[in-house]
Each structure stands twice: as C-alpha cells, then as structure tokens.
Amino acid sequence: MMPAVETRSTPVPQGDTLFVAGEWRAAARAGERFDPSRPERSTGLFAAAAAADVEDAYAAAVAAAPAWAATPAPARAELLRRAADCLAARAEAAALRLTADMGKAIGDARAEVRRGAAILRYFAGELEQPIGETYASADPATALSTFEQPLGVACVITPWNFPVAIPLWKLAPAIGFGNTVVWKPAEAASGSAVLLAEVLADAGLPAGVLNLITGHGSELSAALTGAERLAAITFTGSGTVGTRLRQAVADRNVKVQLELGGKNPAIVLADADLADAALQVTRGAMLATGQRCTATSRVYVERPVADEFARLLADQVGRLVVGDPFDEATQVGPLASAEQAATVAEYFALARAEGARVIAGDLAATAEGCFAVPTVIADVAPDSRVVREEVFGPLLVLFVVDDLEDALGAANETDFGLSSAIFTRDLGKAMRFVRETQTGLVHVNRETAGVEPHVPFGGVKGSSSLSREQGKAARQFFTTTKTVYLRST
Ligand code: NAD
C-alpha cells in the first residue's frame, strides 16, 4: 500500500507552490503530478507559473541581494546547518515525497535525502574556509590580496532524476556564498521542490533569498533567461535545453554552468574479478531505473571472458527486484513518466529491429504503468541510435572487444564525456585508462555512477560546459574574485 505522501507542516491549498519574496502563492494555472507506479493516480497539483511570476521572483531576488551578500559567511553557514537539521527531521516525509514524484525506490530515496543533508553540512563547512589570498607586491608600501564576493542573482534550473540532491548541490553553494536565487525545478519534481523550499524557509532564510518557481520550463524560458540583473545560470538537464539556455544569454555577461547527459562506458578486461564486475556494471546500469546521468549504458568486454561475463551479468540483472517503489525490497522502481517509458521502449524496439540479441531481461515484456524490465542487448552496430544517444532507462548494450586499445577507441567514440569505468587488476592498464578515457569522472573497479559531495563533479565534450560542480569547484562558480592593491600613505 502506498503511504500518505502529503508533507506540508502547515496545510495550504493544493497547487499553492510558488514561493516568492518569502510568501507562498498560487499561479493562475496548475499542473498535475502523477505517481509513476500508478499513473492513473494523481499525487497533487503544482502551480504552473506565468512569466509575471518569474519577474516577481527576480524582483524579490534583486531586492534581497545586498543584505544577503552583507550577511557574514558564518551566519550563512549556520543557516545551512539548520536547514540540514530541518531536512533530517523531515527525512521520511521527503523520501516519500521524492518517491511519489518520480518513482525512485524508497531505499534510494532515503539515501538521497541523507545525501541532501550531507551536502548542506559540507557547504556550511566550506563557508568557514579562507575567502582569499595574500600576495607579495612589487611595491613595499602595498598590501596585495584577493577576496571572493557573491555574483548576485543566480537562476537554478534542475531535472527530475535527483529531486533533492541536484537542487541542493546547486542551492547550498549559491545561497551559501551569498547569492540570491530564482529556482525552477522540473515539473515532475515539484512536490520535492516545495518541501525543500519549506525546509530552507523553516531554517530562517530571509525573504527573497530563495524564490521557487514551479511550472513548464519551455513556457518560462524567456522570462528565466531574460532578467536584466541575472548574473549566473546553473542548469542540469538535457543537452538540447542546456544549449538553448546558453544561446539565450550568449550576448550578455552571464556566467553559465551546464551539466548535461551521458553515454557512460565500462570496460571489463580479462584479468578482472568478473563476478564483482558483473555486480558493479549491473548496479551502474540499472539502479535508479537507469535514470542517472552517470549510468552505465555501454559495456566493452575482452573476448576471452565475454561469454562468461555475459552469463554473470545476465544472472545479476535477473536478480534485481523490480516493482512498487514504496516496497522496501524494491531495487528498481518505474521510469519517471509514461513519456519516459515510451521513449525507452522505442529505443529497445529500434535495436531489436536492427538485429540486437537479448542477453538479459526483455523491455518488450514490460507491464503496465511506467515500469521497464532491466535489459541487456548485444550484436548492436556502433552507429546505432541506441549506442550514440542517451536512452535514460535500464537498457545496457554489450560489445566484445579484442583488447584495451580496441575498448578505449570504442568507448571514446561518443559525443558525451561524463563518467567511465574499467575493471582490471592490472595497474598499468588501469592507469592508461585513467589518462586516455575522455570523461570528467573515472572509476577503477567501481560502477560509473556514485558521487561524493566534496570533490568536483562534471564532464567533458557534450556532457558539460566544462565548469565543475560540488566541492571547491562550486566556490569558483558562485563567486567572483576582487583583487585589492592597498597602499599606505
Ligand atoms: P530537461 O532538459 O528536459 O529539463 C531540465 C529542466 O529544464 C527542467 O526543470 C525543465 O522544466 C527545464 N526546462 C525545459 N525546457 C526549458 C527551457 N526551454 N527553458 C528553461 N528551462 C527549461 O531534462 P530532464 O528530462 O528533467 O532530465 C533528464 C536529463 O538530465 C538527462 O539528459 C540527464 O542526463 C540529465 N542529467 C544530467 C546530470 C549531470 O550532472 N550531468 C545529472 C542529472 C541529469
């Protein structure tokens, strides 16, 4: 049975989900959210903001900016710590909300909420780190130093696949380093977004520092990117939308951070611990129903062990517990929406029509709702769409390769460059892979997914604007440096 998912501490009218200038308000129109495990069931409404709401949100963010920038960093750190405590206190409600929004297995949803609190605490600590440097000047009478200042007003646009972690790894540094924010979450993740905004408001965030605009991204694009005082956009989502956003601000001095899709390869060499590699590749490809930008979608296996690895992989994939995301035993819930389920089924049908052989699972046998059976296919041409494009579902393509050289060439033959993995006991081969793989994240004997908050995150090629998020990289994005020549007379 699905538990109750309403999360508001203070009941407000359904759909009253815009948070502007410290006040909750409704929009003229509302969108409806559906439980992906029971698409016939509505999980509530979200306010579908209009351009005028976005303009109000920017006005509030502009008005709040000077006082927030002047608030001492330790006070901002304290607020992030209180937000972490508030989120921890509402952890179960947040996990249920997240699962209802987009179908993530409840165990993974709980882990994501814990991670959200950890991200808030990490950035609270970052705010107590040095904010500048001192240099020797050529002039003995001059003290030469730098210090960081906030950028101003930042626009934060987030996807639905990590409704808590991704917003927080942008919001915590944006706000923490003294900026004010207009945040537009994905439609499907609006329920989780409202809960996070409540948490930050409950922690004592002054009015106007965070402004939440729920609604349809394509309708709000011009208002989101057109604001005169916009200083920065941080976006995670599809390449198509990311490119559009970059173009929209290209002729203005707006700092842009884009984290986009992935087509992440794993290489399994003959000397690897094959059982462990099969487990890691299965987890990397199938957990979160394959809807992670770092999910493994291609696996390249050295010929001598290809049959054995395929057998071990099929065994692991077959063991996955697929089902009701609210069931504690479930590892793989539904896809996030009917559209997502249709897209994944289409890629599978295309691959089958091109002659792909099924090694494990059968996406075509998927039951009703938005469920997708984790599936592995082989005998696919390298230029097939299923190999070149991001599927964003539990569909893994297996290739047999002659050696590391062959595997590296094929793995790098992609427009994306987010994450990659190699499985081997040979340190020399592992080090060569680390050097030559064209991705921003590299794993040795680990799945391609999995992110820690205190190290930089991001990709190369079509996966990123080459900026990095999280860790110390977040400081670089959300601040600007002032250089001070101070001469005594
Ligand atoms: P999406 O690009 O469709 O939407 C992302 C956000 O942009 C949503 O809030 C959406 O409402 C908004 N949006 C859509 N059109 C817009 C427009 N014209 N102007 C302004 N905003 C607009 O992506 P999605 O379907 O929500 O998420 C899945 C994608 O995100 C996948 O491609 C996945 O790989 C990617 N992703 C990347 C990372 C990463 O860090 N590299 C992490 C998670 C997800």
State the distance from the centre of ligand 1 to the C-alpha of 331, rounded, in angstroms. Answer: 24
Give the residue from 151, 150, 144, 146 showing the smallest Cα distance to 132. 146
**377: alpha, beta or left? (left if phi > 0; alpha if psi -120 to 50):** beta
Three-state secondary structure string covering 217-260: HHHHHHHHHHCCCEEEEEEECCHHHHHHHHHHCCCCCCEEEEEC
Question: Pocket of ligand 1, candidates 293, 388, 451: which has the most ligand atoms within 8 Å of its Cβ, to mutate?
Answer: 293
Taking the complete model, does pTM exceed 0.85, yes or no?
Answer: yes
37's tokens: 């495990």
Three-state secondary structure string covering 43-59: EEEEEECCHHHHHHHHH
Please give the pLDDT value at position 366.
66
* β-bridge mates for residue 142, sequence order: 487
Q: Is residue 293 annotated as a catalytic residue, yes or no?
A: yes
Residue 100 exposed, middle or buried by CB count within 10 Å (0-12, 13-18, 19+): buried
Pairing status of strand 230-236 against strand 255-259 = parallel
Please give the pLDDT value at position 152.
98
* Residue of 187, 259, 302, 447 marked catalytic: 259
Ligand 1 pocket member 198 (CB < 6 A): no
Give the residue from 34, 104, 421, 388 showing the smallest Cα distance to 397. 388
Please give the pLDDT value at position 367.
61
Grouping H, G, I as helix, E, B as strand and the rest as coil, residue 95 is helix
Query: What residue owns the CA closest to ligand 1's atom 12?
Result: 217
Ligand 1 pocket member 224 (CB < 6 A): yes
Please give the pLDDT value at position 16.
64
Please give the pLDDT value at position 6.
40
Please give the pLDDT value at position 88.
98
State the distance from the centre of ligand 1 to the C-alpha of 385, rounded, in angstroms. Answer: 20
Q: Quote the CA–CA distance of 133 and 223 in Å, as a whole number.
A: 38
Mean pLDDT by 10 residues, the chain (489 residues): 37 66 90 82 86 98 98 98 98 94 95 98 97 97 97 98 98 98 95 95 97 96 97 97 97 97 98 98 98 98 98 98 94 93 94 96 77 96 97 97 98 98 98 98 97 95 95 96 96
C-beta atoms surrounding 189 within 10 Å: 27
Q: Is residue 259 annotated as a catalytic residue, yes or no?
A: yes
Q: What is the DSSP letter of 462?
A: G
Question: Do 91 and 110 touch, CB atoms closer than 8 A?
Answer: yes
Grouping H, G, I as helix, E, B as strand and the rest as coil, residue 192 is helix
Question: Pocket of ligand 1, candidates 236, 254, 258, 390: which has the most ligand atoms within 8 Å of its Cβ, to mutate?
Answer: 236
Question: Do 342 and 333 touch, CB atoms closer than 8 A?
Answer: no
Domains annotated on the chain, with CATH: 17-260+465-485 (3.40.605.10), 264-452 (3.40.309.10)
Q: What is the DSSP letter of 33?
A: E
Q: What amino acid is encoded at 51 in this protein?
A: A
